[in-house]
Amino acid sequence: MSEVEPVVVVHGGAWAIPEKLWSESLDGVKTAARCGYKVLKDGGSATDAAEAAVISLEDCPAFDAGTGSVLTFDEQVEMDAIIMEGTTMKAGAVGAIRNVKNPVKVARLVMEKTPHVLLVGEGANKFAIEHGIEEVDPDTLITPYAKEKLAKFKQYNKTVYSLFNKFDPVEGDGHDTVGCAVVDGSGRTACATSTGGITAKMPGRVGDSPIVGAGGYADDIVGAVSTTGHGEAIIRSCLARHIAANMSAGKGALTATEESLAYMEARINGFGGAIAVSCKGDVATNFSTPRMPWAYVKEGKLHYGIHPGQHEVEDY
């Protein structure tokens, strides 16, 4: 395989993020991008780097994943996660899993230890315990903020409208999904995505994040993608695969993400965001929502932003 400039790119969810969360969200994505890149520099694989970056984001309560996950209508935390590696295109995922700190770790175990791609609900929890994942008290995953939000948005439809709609956003007290896409120095790719979903979702609702081709996609021949936004729209438009198909057709990562997000909006009025890195190291972060915190490390520099058009750079 040819030499490629390695890239680790992460996002912290696309939605109408209120000002009080801007700095915490930016710190969270910057830390996660650095963390994933360090794993690569220390000799880890693209999959190791994607997992480490997403664990860092799951552990940050500013995001809707792991600790800080939003609540279902009946006040529970149910989380979805995926990990996919682009060399063999193996993937592992969990849906509606409860009581674990890091769903992405369970997703990786599904990928590596089972003949399946997706385990959900009680089966996913049972599998996690059998593979040494500690069960945590659900209250440790619930922040006061998640409770406030559920009280405010007791209607899923209202939540979806206000968190994602770019034309008339209500700056909701929501917080969001996390993800990572990686290409290593040999052109090997991986992605991971993790979420608590959307406030006031129905118990048992599984969103786009654990679905291959919707919440994430990795193929060494093309690149890696992680998405965020209105899950039902992302599933229906196969957003991650749509972006990969655009890249595969020769479009750059930026054009590919822009066109796929525009397609989702035009066809089904869906809003969201995506990060993508090609197998050659071409990277893009893009969103059709009011904001999305993102960060990536490439060529010794850390790039980051949260507002449309914002792109800051500092030394890694």
Residues carrying an active site annotation: 177
97 or 234: CB nearest ligand ASP: 234
- Smallest distance from ligand ASP to CB 165, Å: 13
86, 126, 127, 130, 312 from 46: Cα distances, Å: 9, 28, 25, 26, 25
Q: What is the 3-state secondary structure (H, E, C) of 25-84?
A: HHHHHHHHHHHHHHHHHCCCCHHHHHHHHHHHHHCCCCCCCCCCCCCCCCCCCCEEEEEE
Among 184, 208, 220, 282, binds ligand ASP (CB under 6 A): 208
Q: From the list 39, 198, 211, 292, which residue makes contact with ligand ASP (rule: CB under 6 A)? A: 198
Dist CA 92 CA 81 (whole Å) = 8
What is the spatial distance between Cα 234 and Cα 219, in angstroms, rounded to a whole number? 19
CB of 307 to ligand ASP, least distance (A): 17
Site for ligand ASP in 107-136 (CB under 6 A): none
Compose the 296-315 pattern: x for residues touching ligand ASP by CB under 6 A, - for all others. --------------------
Q: Do the beta carbons of residue 233 and residue 273 sit within 8 Å?
A: no
Residue from the set 209, 226, 246, 286 that interacts with ligand ASP by CB under 6 A:
209
Comparison of 128 and 198: residue with beta carbon closer to ligand ASP: 198
Which one of 92, 231, 270, 293 is in contact with ligand ASP (CB under 6 A)?
231
**Cβ neighbours for 222, distance < 8 A, ≥ 6 positions apart:** 86, 189, 244, 247, 248, 278, 279
Q: Verify binding: residue 293, ligand ASP, rule CB under 6 A.
A: no
**List of residues contacting ligand ASP (CB under 6 A):** 13, 15, 176-177, 195, 197-198, 207-209, 228-229, 231, 234
